[in-house]
């Protein structure tokens, strides 16, 4: 019985260690044949279910998503570069405006200093003139005071001399001459 079983399931012999072994087959295919048939069946099923097309669609979708992300990244980069250029231009403009403001402030400061110097010189000149005028007025007042005192002293001295030198008769002749001089004039 063992021989019948062996004959039904084996078709070829394999030399192994000096003896022959029979290879197992089913429907005339050995193990490599069945593996090849199984792989072929898997490929047929994959093709029949359109798996490669589904994989291609999935890859195409992934590629499209990556392409869209790359486009968005390129757009964001372009926007960032535009913003950078805009801010650099604004910074350069701000630097130029700051330099202009500093120069204008320096010019204004120089003008203010010059005006302050002119005003100070005018004030010193005005104060000097006022002091000179006060000194001249004080001198005139002193001279007038001295003249007034001299006139008072002279009048007092003349009065004293006249009192000493004139008597009533001479005084009457002088008053008559003065009255006569007034009447003519």
- pTM, entire model: 0.37
pLDDT tens digits along 51-60: 777 788 899 9
Cα–Cα dist 81/130, whole Å:
71
Q: Along the 185 residues of the chain, how does pLDDT read in single tens digits?
A: 444 444 444 444 444 455 566 677 778 778 888 899 899 888 888 777 777 777 888 999 999 999 999 999 999 999 999 999 999 999 999 999 999 999 999 999 999 999 999 999 999 999 999 999 999 999 999 999 998 888 888 888 887 877 777 777 777 777 888 888 887 76
Task: Give the pLDDT of residue 100.
Answer: 95
**For 149-167, b where at least 16 C-beta lie within 10 A, e where not — what string?**
eeeeeeeeeeeeeeeeeee
Indicate the domain borders of the chain: 1-48
Cα–Cα dist 130/138, whole Å:
12
């Amino acid at each position: 019985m063992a021989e019948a079983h062996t004959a039904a399931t084996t078709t070829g012999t394999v030399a192994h260690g000096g003896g022959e072994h029979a290879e197992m087959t089913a429907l005339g295919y050995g193990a490599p044949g069945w593996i090849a048939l199984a792989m072929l069946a898997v490929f047929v099923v994959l093709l029949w279910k359109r798996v490669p097309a589904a994989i291609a669609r999935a890859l195409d979708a992934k590629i499209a998503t990556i392409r869209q992300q790359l486009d968005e990244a390129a757009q964001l980069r372009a926007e960032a570069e535009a913003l950078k250029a805009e801010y650099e231009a604004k910074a350069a403009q701000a630097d130029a405006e700051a330099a202009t403001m500093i120069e204008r402030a320096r010019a204004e400061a120089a003008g203010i200093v010059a005006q302050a110097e002119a005003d100070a010189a005018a004030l010193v000149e005005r104060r000097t003139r006022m002091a000179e005028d006060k000194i001249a007025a004080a001198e005139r007042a002193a001279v007038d005071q001295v003249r007034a005192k001299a006139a008072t002293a002279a009048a007092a001295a003349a009065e004293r001399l006249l009192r000493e030198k004139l008597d009533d008769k001479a005084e009457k002749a002088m008053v008559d001459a003065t009255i006569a001089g007034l009447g003519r004039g």
